[in-house]
Amino acid sequence: MDFDSTFTKVEALDVLGEISLIGRPDRDDVLNQIKVITDRGMSGEISLAESLRLRLKLLNAHRDHLPALVETLMGKISDSFQRNKSFLTENADRIYVVSSGFREFIVPIVTALGIKEDHVFANTFEFDEAGNITGCDCNNPLSTDKGKVKLIRDMKLDGDVYVIGDGYTDYEIREAGLANKFYAFTENVVRPKVIEKADSISPSLDDFLFENKLSRSQSYPKSRIKVLLLENVHPVAVQLFEQEGFNVEIRKGALDEDELIEAIQGVHILGIRSKTQVTRRVIDSASKLMAIGAFCIGTNQIDLEACTEKGIAVFNAPYSNTRSVVELAIGEIIMLIRNIVPKSNLMHKGVWDKSAKNSFEVRGKKLGLIGYGNIGTQLSVVAEALGMEVYFYDVVDKLALGNARKCKSLDELLAVSDIISLHTDGRKENKGLISYREFGMMKNGVIFLNLSRGHIVDIPALVDAIERGKVAGAGIDVFPYEPKTNQEEFINDLRNLPNVILTPHIGGSTEEAQENIGNFVPGKLLEYINNGSTYGSVNFPELQLPLLKGSHRLLHIHANVPGILAQMNNIFGKYHINIQGQYLKTTEQIGYVISDIAKNYSDEVVQELKNIDNTIKFRLLY
């Protein structure tokens, strides 16, 4: 193993420069020179000997700087090395650290993670009488070009040899025929000229251990989890997945069915907003898909039944943009009932129309809410604070907040309301919920809003109601067909109608809401991928699991038929496995069993669990 930018996240001599050059006015310039020299040496552009000589000359370092350097490096050990300390300790007899760095700072770091001191091969500093670092031991082969090759050849190692490192000098060992494979380590730095020479790329030590079927701290390397994010989800979501080490691909717009089928190959986590339709055909083609995140409230764009059948958990953001939608609704109600939009349009044409005609206050008006979920209830509270009378209708029995009154039927609500606002879900049964008949039952001059789902309102019927004056003003944020990207023209019969506010599906599109969603949905997905928890899933049995400690977690998703748990426990009994915790929850379609078991078990156990009839998916976590 290499040390700089492999065992640690940094190049130690660069850090030493940051310490030794404190107080120098040209510090930043010198540090930049050192970094450039380091990169050129690691990429093979200049010789190792030249790189060392130039850097040591610039450092102006002293023996007294080394304790601070070691302390800093202790906090810069690569994350995957820290996670796999037990592997390093258990296999210390077979692990060597070979570096062009210096023993004075390498030995304290690597021995803290179990590496043997006599298995560390590196340069040593030379000091003058005052303790200044003047150079290195020139008799050490590691101070010369191809020094690692010379050293490994002299070591005459038995058995297979694997080299893990980020630099060209690490590749030279493989080039000389002294190693079976060279793994380019990219957790901390990516050097294209090194990668192109590598037999394999290891984004972390976990990847190396996984590929070679060695003991490790994680059941799978995070870099092998592929995440596809569509429709401009908030950057904080991208950051959260990348921080976890996942392989993230971003696409700005929505994809049609064929495009999504092509893009979803090899994807484990899919993130979408409201435009992308995840059909059964898409689900059937996604052989590796484990979870879907809807970065919005609704999930009607996802075939939940198909996802459940395939053992794919779906999560959404039921609360994160509620306030944003409510504020837009309140703003539009006031703008429409005051007839502000036509007056503003006239002002832009130079027409001064100062008049109170058809301009009203919201105080005392009757607001009818169709749908009384998270958004409907919050809108109810805010509207009541503005002095409005609130009525609501919902197919599900809901507790009224404040002085809101529940209507027995949709017809009753339509007849009583001065203002009507839609906040229903997107189920197929709601298509065309508001059409010619429903508009005919409304008061003359009603204000009408739809900030829920486009297919709920019959657009020709709405156009007719506006043209006849039945609807005095409308605010529409959602449409039966919406452009896939900002470059596509929006075409709809509502364009150019008077006192109509048209917005491009932005009810939840505020910076605050999108950031909240960007944090919330990845949080649920990561809990599921890393821990197995399904709390908040819209299609899975909901389980909030404890953190995994000291055991292996077996996650078994199966069709909800009798006897699965008994079969699993029979297998555990057959192999004398101690169950440290077990959790089961079912829905009508599927069952979800989580078993935390002692670490010592044979591979046959996993295979037998996978082979149980009606198994949909099986995962192993540790």
Q: Which sequence positions are flagged as catalytic?
A: 453, 482, 505
DSSP 405-436: EE-SSHHHHHHH-SEEEE-----GGGTT-BSH
d(CA 215, CA 87): 6
Please list, residue by residue across 521-541, b when 16 or more beta carbons sit within 10 angstroms of its beta carbon and e when fewer do.
bbbbbbbbbebbbbebbbbbb
d(CA 184, CA 201): 5
d(CA 234, CA 513): 10
d(CA 201, CA 421): 55
Residue whose token pair is 């997905």: 525
Helices (H), 75-200: 79-83, 85-90, 103-111, 147-155, 168-175, 192-195
Cα angle: 438, vertex 442, 443; to 5 degrees: 170
How far is residue 85 CA from its own chain's centroid? Answer: 27
Q: Which two tokens stand for residue 495?
A: 């364009």
CA R_g for the chain = 32
For 176, residues 6+ apart whose C-beta sits below 8 A from its C-beta are: 146, 149, 152, 153
Q: Which two tokens stand for residue 557?
A: 């998703």
d(CA 128, CA 133): 7
d(CA 295, CA 65): 50
The phi, psi pair for 214, rounded to 5°, reads: -105, 160
One-letter amino acid of 79: D
Beta bridge partners of 583: 594
One-letter amino acid of 524: K
Say if CB 511 and CB 324 are below 8 A apart.
no
d(CA 410, CA 392): 9
Residue whose token pair is 């008077």: 498
The full length of the chain comes to 622
Say if CB 481 and CB 454 are below 8 A apart.
yes
Say if CB 209 and CB 84 are below 8 A apart.
yes
Q: Which burial class, exposed, middle or buried, applies to 213 when counting CB atoms under 10 A from its CB (0-12, 13-18, 19+)?
A: exposed
Say if CB 473 and CB 339 are below 8 A apart.
yes
DSSP tag of 54: H
d(CA 321, CA 544): 24
Cα angle: 31, vertex 110, 182; to 5 degrees: 80
d(CA 164, CA 201): 9
